[in-house]
Amino acid sequence: MEFPANLRYTKEHEWARQEGNRIVVGITDYAQKELGDVVFVELPEVGTPIETMGTFGVVESVKAVSDLYAPVSGTIVESNIILEDQPELVNASPYGQGWMVVIEAANAEEFQQLLTAAEYQAYVAQEKSSR
């Protein structure tokens, strides 16, 4: 299972990559493995305003429909519409071709508050273990 060190993460299993003021967002390798085969992705239109931890879309797999949560606030400036026809890219390439949206961040500091790879990896280990 991959946890790229250059990304930040949420407890809701999204990843975020900073490119200047733009934040690229997708779901993690762990999330796609947990969900199983993704069969449908619903993403927002460009221009949609989004709040931190607000839902920005939906992913449906053979197991469940899950809401997608925005790691940072801002405005949707790109939506990966290829996923409408090829939702399986989320499974095949969660950190690459399976990216979901790009958010023009309203507040650059929000990105720095997200989990680091090590913190997220520890969180996943905790979630998978008995409490």
Partner 1 sequence: MQQPWRFVNTGNSEPAFNMALDEALLLVHEAGAAPPTLRVYGWCQPTLSLGYAQNAHQEVDLATCQSQGIAVVRRPTGGRAVLHDQEVTYSVVMPLLLVDGPSTITEHYRRIGMALAMALQSLGVPVHLARPQVRVAFSRALASPACFAALSRYELSAAGKKIVGSAQKRAQRALLQHGAIPLWLDRQRLFECFRVPPERRQALVQAAYTTMGAVNEVAPAPVALSAVQNALRQSFSVTFGVELVEAPISPEEWRLAQHLQATKYATDAWNLDGAAAWRQRQPVASV
DSSP state at residue 66 = E
Out of 5, 20, 47, 131, point to the residue binding partner 1 (CB under 8 A): 131
Cα separation, 117 vs 5, in Å, equals 5
Nearest to 47, CA basis, from 79, 84, 24 = 79
- Told to check if 47 binds partner 1 by CB under 8 A, we report no
Can you tell me which residue has the tokens 């409490």?
131
- Told to check if 86 binds partner 1 by CB under 8 A, we report no
Out of 2, 4, 39, 112, point to the residue binding partner 1 (CB under 8 A): 39
**CB count in 10 Å sphere of residue 88:** 15
Out of 17, 53, 75, 78, point to the residue binding partner 1 (CB under 8 A): 53
Out of 17, 34, 86, 111, point to the residue binding partner 1 (CB under 8 A): 34
Q: Where are the alpha helices (DSSP H) in 25-99?
A: 29-35, 82-85, 89-92
Residues that bind partner 1 (CB under 8 A): 12, 34-37, 39-40, 42, 53, 58, 60-67, 69, 127-131
